[in-house]
Amino acid sequence: MTRLETAGGLIGRTVQRVEDAGLLTGRGRYIDDLPVRRDTAHLAILRSPHGHAEIRAIDTTAARALPGIFAVLTGEDVARLTRSMTVGVKANVECWPIARDRVRYVGEPVALVVAENRYVAEDALDLIEVEYERLIAIVDPEKALAADAPVLHPSLGTNLINERSFRYGDPEAALATADHRISIRIAYPRNSCTPIETYGVIADYDPGEDAYDVTANFQGPFSIHAVISRALNVPGNRMRLRTPPDSGGSFGIKQGVFPYVILAAVAARVAGRPVKWIEDRLEHLTASVSATNRVTTLEAAVAADGRITALCWDQLEDCGAHLRAPEPATLYRMHGNMTGAYAIENVAIRNRVVLTNKTPTGLNRGFGGPQVYFALERLVHKIADELGLDRLAVIRRNLVPADAFPYRTATGGLLDSGDYQTAIDRACAEGGLEALKLRRDSARAEGRLYGIGYATVVEPSVSNMGYITTVLTPEERAKAGPKNGAQSVATVAIDPLGSVTVKVASVPQGQGHRTVLAQVVAERLGLPLEAVCVNTELDTARDAWSIASGNYASRFAAAVAGAASLAADRIRDRLAAIAASQLNVTADRVEFKAGKLFDRDNPDNAISFGRVAAASHWAPGTLPDGNVQTIRETVFWTPEQLEAPTAADGINSSLCHGFIFDICGVEIDRATGQVRIDRYVTMHDCGRILHPGMVEGQVRGGFAQAVGAALYEEYAYGSDGSFLPGTLADYLIPTVMETPEPLILHHETPSPFTPLGAKGVGEGNCMSTPVCIANAVADALGVEDIRLPLSPSRVSEWLYAEERPSSKPRDVAPVATGASGERLLTGAGSADVVATRQSVWTMLLDPNTLKAIIPGAHEVRKVSDTHFRAEVTLGIGPVKGRYRADIRLSDMIAPEAVTLSGGTEGALGSGRGTGRVTLTETATGTRIDYRYEAAIGGKVASVGGRLLDGAARVVIGQFFQALARHAGGGAPPSAAAGFIQRLANLFRRRG
């Protein structure tokens, strides 16, 4: 068990976490573990299989009829009880948590089912029939800007939802007079930090008070509470939002649960009972949130000695199908530090936000940093290479001078503290850079591919809640009123027995906030760690909170722990005054240590903490004159440095700015293209360290996620809008085998702006590590256009150029790609059956026969004489899935010819096609000829083309062979077999 910590000196020590005993023994209380009312029902969500389609009709009749179903809701049902969610820019566009007339991304909610349990709810999803009219999907942000691109939101008339240009200093003059102009173009991919616990919501509605009560593993920011309340059309005090005691990780992602808070709340209202929803992993990957993908062009004006005099940014941000709050924050969070660790006077920025047929984006660890620093730090490497300078020398030449802090950046940021030069010198020395260079040189001498990369990053933390208003023009801002600051809140309370409880609105997701807060408050009050109890559950109906509350932007150590320290100090001052009167000394002589208050000059003159602390409860009348209660003290703290954007668009987007310098050595396997991280050094300045063990944990965790982003992970989309990595077998999260061990170093320069001198540390490696690895790979391969993730297949393309198509001629028509990016297949074949033409014709139109002969069919229903619906399970290569087929007959010439056309839809993909079937009488029966043309999209389309073509031919062939068998004839793979079959049939018929 935990050793009793002595009072004092708790801050800065690696104490054991108070959270762990419960979590290690299975007593955690995550959202799916919480007790619920006995009549709680379960929600399941029908989601779009298409990237872009009109919804023609939704038939929920069969689903409603299923026993155990309490409610089925469509987008229109939800819209009747809610309002569109607030959009963060001025644009004529609505933003609903569920599709209404159109689906715009794979996984977009289309219908909700509330049932007695999740199993039955999912049964009902299978019974909902949605008729879609597919539209061309657009997934490439640059193509989405084309004049003829399909438009996602007709009311907007374009996919470009926001554009702003900024100018600081005189970038044009700097470019015009520069010795060199060097630029780089980056396409940064989508990825997600994917917590192991998925989203969860438990919602209830009280019609008597028109009030919602929702528990969700939401992480903040609680500015989103306003979005939820407005969408649900209730005042904020009738939208009670609570968070569970434990959360299974977030990394930003659980901000994105809020549209489901709205859906579950409405579902509970309609169903008339509490509703619980736990997202499954497939839903999470497809449709939770991810980081943005971004196309950046960055140009620098550079002097001959490598000094950068101007930066010109052109950023095209892809926020997916809807601009959901707080987007486009990913694009603006870095605005104050767009010059990174460098002193660059002149900056131009053009920011465009585009909508595409992808899942809406949201918070993700690093939030905007990976995209910015990938461009900036790749460019700094490139500048050194083009000018023939040492890369580290170029970095050093441009650093903000150590004596310049606090340093105002060109774009308005205020870098609080740092000594970047010393941190880099120490990283090179303690990280063994010279030895690493020798290692590289000897590897290269042996013909191996080895490279070294660097990355220099300023890590912002504690977001200014006003930075997002930089997206508005100064005139729009003036009209809307200033937005700024970041209220953090902490309460310290003392009960009648004199024990201390701390309450904060920080909503931890596994970081150990309770431990650090106990350290901070125990130290301030001279108590042992165990004497302080910390509660981090948040309840908007009871607790102190504000819009900045929550767990994001690495704000805990700098802001929340600081607020707790201030609250403890206020209580401490009052306790000192009470003790002073009892000890007959002045208050400034009272010290707090080991659970006692005593006279500094005469430690024997002491009184127990509990006795003084309880006085406000038991004997308030005895408190010294003017002394107010010590029962409860709540501190709201917002730093003065977080000002609103200036009229010139200057913005101090974050309070604190940590520093990171990384060195990476990689070796690339020439045969496989595998990138192996040979050595990684990461130097951090996160100000004062409150708990070294947790800081190490944050760095290692962020680093592991960054390794995933650099080498393995991508939320990739097919050109038809299909989502490709739909399972954890496709979306490759590093295991212990893929996670190298970094050398972690620290150089502390305390922040002058935070109560404890601490800065954020949790996100830095997500910003620095991807580009550091990319720089090392660029160094190893001499390739400029480094794209993530650096998978072996991609690296192999750089090593060996792209794989050329086989020179062997193929015996089928070439596969073309359709307008919407589907694979097009064509084929033809024939089968002979020993049945009359009329009987074959009848079979083709009979659902029972069709059920028997359609491969994998579970059910075939006749909707009308020319319309059938079927449920089939098909396996194509490794991908086995259930599909719903809709078949229509046309151009019928009975009993000679018919055209079958239709489509299939399933979670794994979709297909549509037409086939012409001709029946000809022969000597022995009937010959069936068929030709087909089919298009396949979705996940199955990502299966290798040859496999898919082959599988389609087999499936279609099976259908006609089965028809032949059913008709009593033999399908002839060879003439001999057909002959024997015919003979056998002849005998059977006679017998």
Which parts of this chain interact with other proteins (CB under 8 A)? 1, 14, 16-17, 19-21, 23-28, 30, 32-33, 119, 193-198, 246-249, 251, 280-282, 509-512, 693-694, 696-697, 700-701, 703-705, 727-729, 733, 735-737, 739, 741
In the numeric block, which tokens belong to residue 702? 């962020």
Q: Are strands 414-415 and 449-463 parallel, antiparallel or unpaired?
A: unpaired
Nearest approach, Cβ of 323 to other proteins (angstroms)?
Answer: 27
Nearest approach, Cβ of 737 to other proteins (angstroms)?
Answer: 5
Q: Which is nearer to other proteins, 696 or 797 (CB)?
A: 696
In this structure, the number of other CB atoms found within 10 A of the CB of residue 625 comes to: 6
- DSSP conformation class of 84: P
In the numeric block, which tokens belong to residue 55? 């919804």
Q: Are strands 129-134 and 239-242 parallel, antiparallel or unpaired?
A: unpaired
Contact 685, 748 (CB under 8 A): yes
Strand partners, 302: 180, 308
Question: Tokens 């104490």 identify what position?
Answer: 15
Nearest approach, Cβ of 735 to other proteins (angstroms)?
Answer: 5
Nearest approach, Cβ of 626 to other proteins (angstroms)?
Answer: 45
From residue 850, alpha-carbon distances to 832, 846, 859 in Å are 18, 6, 9
Q: Which is nearer to other proteins, 701 or 970 (CB)?
A: 701
Q: Which is nearer to other proteins, 671 or 729 (CB)?
A: 729
Q: Which is nearer to other proteins, 32 or 425 (CB)?
A: 32
In the numeric block, which tokens belong to residue 397? 């030449």
Q: Which is nearer to other proteins, 249 or 950 (CB)?
A: 249
Nearest approach, Cβ of 793 to other proteins (angstroms)?
Answer: 21
Amino acid present at 652: N
Nearest approach, Cβ of 34 to other proteins (angstroms)?
Answer: 9
In the numeric block, which tokens belong to residue 987? 């005998």
- DSSP conformation class of 335: G
Q: Which is nearer to other proteins, 118 or 185 (CB)?
A: 118
Nearest approach, Cβ of 474 to other proteins (angstroms)?
Answer: 41
Nearest approach, Cβ of 172 to other proteins (angstroms)?
Answer: 45
Instruction: Verify cis geometry, omega within 30 degrees of 0, for the bond prior to 847.
Output: no
Nearest approach, Cβ of 20 to other proteins (angstroms)?
Answer: 4
Nearest to 713 by CA among 727, 741, 734: 734
Phi, psi (rounded to 5 degrees) for 115: -140, 175
Half-sphere exposure of 521 (CA within 13 A, CB side): 32
Residues 6+ apart with CB under 8 A from 671: none
Nearest approach, Cβ of 38 to other proteins (angstroms)?
Answer: 13
Q: Which is nearer to other proteins, 213 or 713 (CB)?
A: 713
In this structure, the number of other CB atoms found within 10 A of the CB of residue 12 comes to: 15
Nearest approach, Cβ of 576 to other proteins (angstroms)?
Answer: 35
Q: Which is nearer to other proteins, 445 or 729 (CB)?
A: 729
- Burial tier of 154 (Cβ tally within 10 Å: 0-12, 13-18, 19+): exposed
In the numeric block, which tokens belong to residue 452? 């070294």
How far apart (Å, rounded) are the C-alpha atoms in residues 386 and 567? 54
Q: Which is nearer to other proteins, 417 or 509 (CB)?
A: 509
Q: Which is nearer to other proteins, 495 or 696 (CB)?
A: 696
How far apart (Å, rounded) are the C-alpha atoms in residues 460 and 614? 41
Nearest approach, Cβ of 251 to other proteins (angstroms)?
Answer: 7
Three-state DSSP state, 448: coil
- Containing H/E element for 951? helix 945-966
Q: Which is nearer to other proteins, 107 or 498 (CB)?
A: 107
Which residue intervals of 469-556 are DSSP H helices?
Answer: 474-480, 513-525
Q: Which is nearer to other proteins, 645 or 881 (CB)?
A: 881
Nearest approach, Cβ of 729 to other proteins (angstroms)?
Answer: 6
In the numeric block, which tokens belong to residue 575? 């306790």
Q: Which is nearer to other proteins, 255 or 641 (CB)?
A: 255
How far apart (Å, rounded) are the C-alpha atoms in residues 639 and 561? 14
In this structure, the number of other CB atoms found within 10 A of the CB of residue 888 comes to: 15
